[in-house]
Amino acid sequence: MEDTQSTEKVREDFDRLADLSDEGEWDHNAHYHAFLLKQLPSRCSEALEVGCGTGVFARSLAERCERVLAVDLSPRMVEVARDRSKGHPNVEYLVADANSWEFPEERFGCVASITTLHHLPLAPTLRKMAGALRPGGTMLVLDLYRAQSPADYLFGAAGFPASKALKLAKTGGLTHRQSPALRRTWEEHGATDVYLTPAEVRDACAEAGLRGAKVRRHLLWRYSLVWRKPIR
């Protein structure tokens, strides 16, 4: 997402989605929060989340970290996140465009991003996130991928029954509980989304200099990227 017009479109979409979001609703991203948190040490001094949305993962990070800085392109998302985070005074929210925001250098023990990086040029953004990590810090990414290889398609096919089973376990039903307006807004937004294949994500990691990054496909059409910055 490099031009101003697309940036504005994404901002407008997420401003609308913020007003329609349900704080307690389970979704596919939330299913992997525990996996991501397991990649961190028991305590972390400070964390950064890029694309925090309504602050769900930022609040989870706040339980493990002394301080969390959570940034998002959408002013309305940040307003909602602040309102929902009144019980987490160690989270600071900031409206910022990751394309132009000046990432602090070597400040954070964790830099995380969930389903945001497909809106951004991946390798340059990973490079900026890596620069914001302290030596020994951990980068956590969860995003959607585009199937290309037979293994990608196999994981994608297995995601459908897994999604149904998880929805039943988490919500007690198989029907989608999103409001029609929320579902329609997500569909309209998703129609213009472009995802990378797992192979392209690995290429971006190599371009960004993330040696040893672990890119892993998951069910529910997502990949994770975990990288630990070497200690000098």
Q: What is the pTM of this model?
A: 0.88
H-run or E-run covering 68: strand 65-72
pLDDT band at 147 (very low <50, low <70, confident <90, very high): confident
Say if residue 229's pLDDT is above 70.
yes
Say if residue 110's pLDDT is above 80.
yes
Topology annotation, domain 4-149+178-228: Rossmann fold (3.40.50)
| Residue ranges of domains in the chain | 4-149+178-228
Which pLDDT does position 141 carry in this prediction? 98
pLDDT band at 107 (very low <50, low <70, confident <90, very high): very high
DSSP character for 118?
G
Contact predicate 140/112, CB 8 Å: yes
> Which comes out higher in pLDDT, residue 112 or 156?
112
> What angle do the packed helices 75-84 and 4-20 form, to 10 degrees?
30
Report the distance separating Cα 56 and Cα 158, nearest Å. Answer: 27
Which pLDDT does position 53 carry in this prediction? 94
Q: What are the pLDDT digits (tens) for 155-198?
A: 767 655 655 555 545 555 545 566 777 667 656 666 778 899 99
N-term to C-term CA, the chain: 33
**Residue % of the chain over a pLDDT of 70:** 82
Closest alpha carbon to 155 in 87, 229, 217: 217
Which pLDDT does position 167 carry in this prediction? 57
